Amino acid sequence: MKCHLCLSENKHRFAEVDSFGFPLVYSICENCGFVYQSTQNSQAADPDFYAETYRKIYQDNPEPTAKDVWIQGKRADHLVDWVKSQGNFIPKNFLDIGASTGTLMHTFQESFGCEVMGVEPGSAYRAYAGKNGLPMVASIEDLIDLQTDRFDLISLIHVLEHLPDPVSTLSTIREALLAQNGRLLLEVPNLYVHDSFELAHLSCFSRHTLAETVRQAGFKPIIIHNHGDPRSKMLKLYITLLVEPAPKDLAIPSVRKEHWVTLKHQFGMGYRRVVQKLFPHQAWLPLPNEVES
Instruction: Give me the mean pLDDT over the 71-89 stretch.
Output: 93
Q: Say how far apart CA 236 and CA 84 lie, in whole Å.
A: 21
Q: Say how far apart CA 112 and CA 91 lie, in whole Å.
A: 7
Residue 171 pLDDT level (bands cut at 50, 70, 90): very high
Q: Say how far apart CA 32 and CA 80 lie, in whole Å.
A: 33
- Would residue 2 count as lying in a domain? no
For CA atoms 263, 267, 269, 270, give the dihedral sign.
positive
- Would residue 46 count as lying in a domain? yes
For CA atoms 211, 284, 156, 151, give the dihedral sign.
negative
pLDDT single digits (tens) 31-46: 999 999 988 777 676 7
- Would residue 220 count as lying in a domain? yes
- Would residue 82 count as lying in a domain? yes
pLDDT single digits (tens) 230-267: 999 999 999 999 999 999 888 999 999 999 999 999 99
What pLDDT is attached to residue 62?
72
Q: Say how far apart CA 229 and CA 77 lie, in whole Å.
A: 10
pLDDT single digits (tens) 204-226: 999 999 999 999 999 999 999 99
Number of H helices, E strands in the chain: 9, 11
The CATH number of whichever domain residue 163 belongs to comes to 3.40.50.150
Domain housing 108: 11-291
Rg (CA), the chain: 18
Q: What is the domain count for the chain? A: 1
Omega into 221 within 30° of 0, i.e. cis? no
Q: Residues near 11 by Cβ (< 8 Å), separated by ≥ 6?
A: 1, 3, 27, 28, 29, 30
Instruction: Give me the mean pLDDT over the 273-286 stretch.
Output: 95
Q: Which amino acid is at 249?
A: D
- Would residue 5 count as lying in a domain? no
- Would residue 6 count as lying in a domain? no
pLDDT single digits (tens) 95-119: 999 999 999 999 999 999 999 999 9
- Would residue 80 count as lying in a domain? yes
- Would residue 3 count as lying in a domain? no
